[in-house]
């Protein structure tokens, strides 16, 4: 098998005088080039044998200077810096031209004919077709994106034409758990590992679905899910990062051998090898024996600088040997050669606890460097056309597939047509998406905004308000939602009833109000709504029909459902939800998390929950949290986390993760909630836009935000006047008589008056990124209360 083939050195190192040179290569210095067998930037091409060149330094244990001494009459150097070098009595400077160039391994030639007699494909025809389609997809997408940039629809793009085999073939030999660092011509790596066309387009358009939130240049992709670090523009910076990551993986396995072995794959072009970071990366990887494979795409040009002007040595592979790294040079236009080399390299990188390997893939950059470049200013067009005609990696693999009988012209046409349609569809959808909210330019640098960032936000807000016609914010999610008010700020002014206070002060005073009224909460709502709040809550829950989830896949919609009830401390809504789901809809897999910022309200709810059936109690959890920041929640008691999946113990029973209620916190993850409800609570929030943004974050795509709140009965002036008269005159007085707390009830009445109208609140929900149906709300009892709903768009 290929993997078991004996490694042999292709680079002949100088030997002591009088010593016979063994295993001399078949080519001699100065032998003419076979242009079809190699890319630019090499001095010669070798045999069809795949051989990893191994440095002449043996992988001995770490040396210490004190352990080495130069013995008298020894024929070899024993100095710490050059062990086992033979002494010579001839004064001679070594000439690079004396030694043959490293050979270039090839498995299949440009005609699609297998030239390595030991090569046997390890993939099924279906797997090969899938990888071929990945290469086609990259090629077709590149052409469309290049044209789109020329049309002004994209700001920038980089094409990888002629280099598709290097990225797709190497990626196909990696494990999903391996960690990848790319440069900016590795679209094929992303595609092979699962990056969708939508993922590409969202990043290119920097829209609201871009995980990078529009902060990176186009083609600077990244994916945490696929273990690919985000691409950065500065040349070669990813290489020392890759060595460091590989060293970390090695340390992890040393500490816990049960962790599956992983490597790091680092991609770069030959131009990046001129940077100091390249040398630092290889040296630390070699001296620390890091499990990393460096993959160099030697495509002949560093932007406009040809390899002849970049270096005088034997390409990049010779540098690997200089750093004591096992190295191979392969034909980068040969999919199978690249894949075989990567398979072997990965296996080597995991040997002996880890070690680096260097692959130099010889290819040719058919495209311009980028859309900012015109390569015909520094190379002849006939040169490019000759490479496209004579040796194209896609055409070479296609010839091999056709000879094998798994591909033909009809399949080629169908594949190209369908891929083109898919690319254009993803392009059109991404182009229509809005940009991320303006506020995101300030986020994710610090956990909390610094005073400088807050000042910058206020300055931007002032600029936008001063020149509203100069800045079109319609294409941004949230539109003219001022960024300053999208993030909680304890020092920012807000209202507490009719008073102006800071957000931090309001939070404290609201907490005081609900601590005061916790025991009489239902009585308070009875007084404020003439008892109608019970009817409204029943209608609210019935309209949501919990336990019958539209997100459930399969024919039965009664699947698992997670409901997050915000400001639901006493459990009124949550208990109704569980009863409807478990009893009426017969779905015991529905669970509800009650979240409230006020511990006293949660305690009342916890006490009341003891009257529920055991099955409903088991599906109920209580967490203390601020709705404006659900990344920090605290269980009411040492409860199992309601948001983290539990794993079975040895007996098959779910293990329970317990928390210390005094210190433990957890986060409600992104896209983890099916239904988010808040009833008679959102008007008390210090920062409603921030709370809506958090609601959108925690909801799954297609998940529903539902709010029941006191509202405006402006459509019925007489009724509205009577209701306000009752509210402002009677309710505070009753609060004084019933609960000895006039101020709390006065605030609650004022908070209703200050809450936005139905239309204004609907617009806030839309600005937060939700989709609403119809007018966006349902009035109850003439508008005294209203139900608002919004859906998080599906990806």
Element (H, E) at 427: helix 409-432
User: In the prediction, which pLDDT does 359 show?
Assistant: 98
Residue range(s) of every CATH 3.40.50.970 domain in the chain? 125-432
Q: Which whole-number Å values give the CA distances from 688 to 115, 446, 467, 580, 651, in the listed order?
A: 68, 22, 26, 29, 46
The CA-atom distances, in angstroms, between 636 and each of 105, 367, 571, 595 are 64, 61, 13, 9
Strands (E) across 636-749 are located at 673-679, 699-710
* Cα–Cα distance measured from residue 159 to residue 303, given in angstroms and rounded to the nearest whole number: 12
In the chain, which segments carry CATH 3.40.50.150?
A: 531-645+657-713+756-791
Element at 169 (helix H, strand E): helix 164-172
* CATH hierarchy code of domain 125-432: 3.40.50.970
- 């919609």: which residue's tokens? 557
Q: Is 626 annotated as a binding residue?
A: yes
Angle between helices 393-404 and 335-349 in degrees, nearest 10:
100
What is the separation, in whole angstroms, between the first and last Cα of the chain? Answer: 45
d(C-alpha 670, C-alpha 609), whole Å: 28
- Low-confidence residues of the chain: pLDDT under 50: 1-48, 57-61, 63-65, 482-486, 551-554, 637-665
CB-based contacts of 420, cutoff 8 Å, min separation 6:
140, 144
- The fold of 531-645+657-713+756-791 is Rossmann fold (3.40.50)
DSSP notation for 11-70: S-----TTPPPPS--SS-TTPPP-GGG--TT-S----SS---B--SS--PPPP-GGG---
| Residues 399, 564: Cα–Cα separation, whole Å | 57
Q: Residue 34 CB: number of other CB atoms within 10 A?
A: 11
**How do residues 332-364 score in pLDDT, each as one tens digit?**
999 999 999 999 999 999 999 999 999 999 999
The residue assigned the tokens 């610090």 is 446
Digit-coded pLDDT (tens) for 702-761: 999 999 998 887 777 777 777 677 666 666 766 666 656 666 667 677 777 888 889 889
Per-residue pLDDT at 601:
82
CA distances from 640 to 64, 480, 590, 714 (A): 53, 41, 16, 46
- Please give the pLDDT value at position 650: 36
Map tokens 């239904």 to a residue: 675
CB-CB contact of 639 with 664 (8 Å): no
Give the number of other Cβ atoms within 10 Å of residue 741's Cβ: 17
- Single out the residue of 471, 358, 441 nearest to residue 102, CA to CA: 358
- Looking at residue 348, its pLDDT comes to 97
């Amino acid at each position: 098998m290929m993997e078991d083939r004996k490694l042999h050195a292709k680079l002949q190192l100088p030997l002591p005088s009088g010593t016979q040179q063994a295993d001399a290569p078949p080519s001699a210095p100065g032998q003419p080039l076979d242009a079809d067998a190699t890319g630019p930037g090499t001095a010669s091409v070798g045999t069809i044998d795949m051989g990893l060149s191994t440095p002449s330094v043996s992988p001995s244990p770490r040396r210490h200077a004190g352990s080495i001494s130069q013995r008298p009459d020894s024929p070899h150097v024993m100095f710490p810096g050059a062990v086992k070098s033979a002494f010579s009595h001839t004064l001679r400077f070594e000439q690079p031209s004396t030694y043959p160039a490293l050979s270039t391994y090839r498995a299949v030639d440009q005609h699609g004919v297998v030239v390595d007699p030991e090569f046997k494909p390890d993939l099924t025809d279906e797997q090969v077709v899938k990888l071929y389609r990945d290469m086609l997809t990259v090629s077709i997408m590149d052409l469309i994106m290049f044209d789109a940039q020329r049309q002004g629809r994209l700001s920038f793009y980089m094409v990888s034409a002629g280099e598709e085999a290097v990225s797709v073939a190497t990626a196909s030999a990696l494990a999903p758990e391996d960690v990848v660092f790319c440069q900016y011509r590795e679209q094929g790596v992303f595609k092979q590992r699962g990056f969708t066309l939508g993922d590409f387009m969202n990043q290119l358009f920097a829209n609201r679905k871009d995980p990078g939130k529009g902060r990176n240049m186009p083609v600077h992709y990244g994916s945490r899910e696929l273990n690919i670090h985000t691409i950065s523009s500065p040349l070669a910076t990813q290489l020392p990062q890759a060595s460091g990551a590989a060293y970390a993986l090695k340390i992890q396995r040393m500490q816990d051998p049960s962790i599956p072995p992983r490597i790091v794959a680092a991609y770069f072009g030959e131009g990046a090898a001129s940077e100091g970071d390249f040398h630092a990366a290889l040296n630390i990887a070699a001296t620390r024996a890091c499990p990393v494979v460096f993959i160099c795409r030697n495509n002949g040009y560093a932007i406009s600088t040809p390899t002849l002007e970049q270096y005088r040595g034997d390409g990049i592979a010779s540098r690997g040997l200089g750093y004591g790294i096992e190295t191979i040079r392969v034909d980068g236009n040969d999919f199978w050669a690249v894949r075989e080399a990567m398979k072997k390299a990965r296996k080597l990188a995991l040997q002996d606890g880890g070690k680096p390997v260097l692959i130099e893939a010889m290819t040719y950059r058919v495209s311009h460097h980028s859309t900012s470049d015109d390569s015909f200013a520094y190379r002849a067009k006939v040169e490019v056309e000759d490479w496209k005609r004579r040796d194209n990696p896609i055409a070479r693999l296609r010839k091999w597939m056709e000879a094998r009988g798994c591909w033909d012209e009809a399949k080629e046409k169908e594949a190209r047509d369908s891929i083109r349609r898919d690319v254009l569809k993803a392009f059109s959808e991404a182009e229509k998406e809005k940009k991320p909210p303006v506020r995101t330019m300030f986020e994710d640098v610090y956990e909390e905004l610094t005073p400088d960032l807050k000042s910058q936000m206020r300055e931007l807000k002032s600029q936008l308000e001063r020149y509203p016609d100069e800045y079109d914010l319609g294409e941004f999610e949230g539109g003219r939602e001022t960024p300053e008010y999208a993030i909680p700020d304890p020092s920012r002014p807000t209202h507490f009833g009719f008073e102006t206070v800071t957000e931090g002060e309001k939070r404290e005073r609201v907490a005081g109000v609900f601590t005061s009224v916790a025991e009489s909460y239902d009585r308070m709502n009875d007084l404020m709504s003439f008892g109608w709040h019970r009817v409204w809550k029943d209608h609210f829950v019935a309209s949501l029909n919990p336990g019958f989830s539209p997100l459930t896949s399969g024919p039965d919609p009664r699947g698992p459902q997670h409901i997050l009830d915000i400001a639901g401390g006493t459990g009124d809504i949550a208990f109704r939800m569980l009863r409807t789901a478990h009893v009426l809809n017969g779905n015991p897999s529905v669970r509800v998390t009650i979240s409230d910022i006020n511990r006293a309200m949660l305690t009342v709810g916890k006490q009341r929950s003891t009257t529920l059936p055991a099955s409903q109690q088991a599906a109920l959890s209580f967490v203390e949290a601020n709705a404006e920041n659900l990344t920090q929640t605290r269980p009411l008691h040492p409860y199992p986390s309601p948001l983290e999946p539990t794993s079975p113990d040895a007996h098959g029973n779910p293990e329970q993760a317990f928390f210390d209620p005094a210190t433990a916190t957890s986060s409600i993850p992104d896209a983890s909630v099916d239904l988010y409800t808040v009833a008679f609570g959102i008007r008390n929030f210090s920062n409603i836009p921030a709370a809506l943004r958090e609601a959108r974050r925690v909801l799954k795509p297609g998940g529903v935000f539902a709010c029941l709140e006191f509202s405006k009965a402006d459509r019925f002036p007489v009724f509205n006047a009577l209701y306000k008269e009752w509210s402002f005159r009677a309710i505070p007085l009753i609060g004084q008589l019933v609960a000895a707390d006039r101020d709390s009830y006065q605030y609650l009445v004022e908070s209703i008056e200050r809450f936005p109208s139905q239309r204004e609140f609907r617009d806030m929900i839309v600005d937060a990124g939700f989709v609403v149906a119809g007018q966006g709300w349902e009035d109850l009892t003439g508008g005294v209360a209203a139900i608002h709903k919004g859906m998080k768009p599906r990806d």
